[in-house]
């Protein structure tokens, strides 16, 4: 009986320690973003959360849609192609640090890191349309 109680207590303590040491979703996303830095060419300090990554990608998507509506389809296509090219390696070789993320969250982080890798973000990490247009002109 005493051994069973001791074993049960030890198991509970280990389980509690594991829960206490587990990372939050934001920390997992930031670890994934850091792991994607090499394949996307992003800045090492750019480690967005999933929410931040989705905002960056959404701003990029809205910019492309606006460009298409304004008659700049070829520029929008070039921008899309540039991000797609930057994400190819990450699509094929998902880093271990990204394994616990959903496919949607991983895709958002990958695209956000690609946008940063192209130099299309400002100091605040937000998508910068002007930097995109300048980058495409080079």
Strands (E), 1-134: none
Q: How far is CA 56 from the centre of its chain?
A: 10
Helix (H, G, I), strand (E, B) or coil at 46: coil
pLDDT at 5: 41
Domain boundaries, the chain: 24-137
Question: Under 8 Å CB-to-CB from 131, ≥6 apart: which residues?
Answer: 119, 120, 121, 122
Token pair for residue 120?
Answer: 């299309």
Q: 4-56 pLDDT, tens per residue? A: 444 433 443 444 444 434 677 788 888 898 888 888 888 888 888 999 999 99
Q: What is the mean pLDDT of residues 74-78?
A: 95
- Could you tell me if residue 101 is left (phi over 0), alpha (psi between -120 and 50 degrees) or otherwise beta? beta
């Amino acid at each position: 009986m005493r051994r069973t109680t001791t074993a049960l207590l030890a198991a509970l303590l280990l389980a509690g320690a594991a829960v206490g040491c587990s990372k939050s979703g934001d920390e997992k996303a930031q670890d994934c973003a850091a792991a994607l830095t090499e394949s996307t060419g992003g800045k090492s300090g750019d480690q967005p959360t999933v929410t931040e990554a989705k905002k960056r990608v959404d701003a990029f998507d809205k910019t492309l849609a606006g460009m298409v509506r304004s008659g700049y389809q070829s520029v929008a296509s070039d921008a899309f192609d540039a991000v797609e090219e930057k994400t190819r390696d990450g699509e094929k070789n998902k880093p271990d640090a990204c394994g616990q993320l959903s496919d949607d969250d991983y895709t958002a982080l990958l695209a956000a890191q690609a946008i940063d890798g192209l130099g299309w973000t400002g100091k605040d990490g937000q998508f910068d349309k002007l930097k995109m247009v300048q980058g495409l002109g080079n």
